[in-house]
Amino acid sequence: MKNLKIFLSVALVAVMLGSLLTCFAADESKAVSVNVYDGKNVVVTMEKVAYKDEDSDGKWTINDVLISIHNSKCKDGFVTENGDYGLFIKKLWNIENGGSYGYMLNNNMAYSLTDEVKDGDVVYAYVYADAAGYSDAYSFFDVNSFADKGGEEVTLTLKYVSGYDAETYAPIFVALEGATVTVDGKATEVKTDANGTAKITLPKKSAVISAAKDGVLIIPPVCVSTVSGGANLLWLWIVLAVIAVAVICFVIFKLSGKKNNK
For 64-105, give the DSSP string: HHHHHHHHHHSTT--EEEEETTEEEEEEBTTB-SSS-EEEEE
pLDDT reported for residue 12: 54
Domains recognised in the chain with CATH numbers: 2-21+232-261 (no CATH), 136-228 (2.60.40.10)
Instruction: Flag whether the pTM goes above 0.75.
Output: yes
Mean pLDDT, 10 residues at a time, over the chain (262 residues)?
52 52 54 98 98 97 99 98 94 97 97 97 98 96 95 98 93 98 98 98 96 98 88 62 71 63 57
Which residues 6+ apart lie within 8 Å of 89 measured at CB?
78, 79, 80, 99, 101, 103, 113, 125
The three-state secondary structure class of 137 is strand
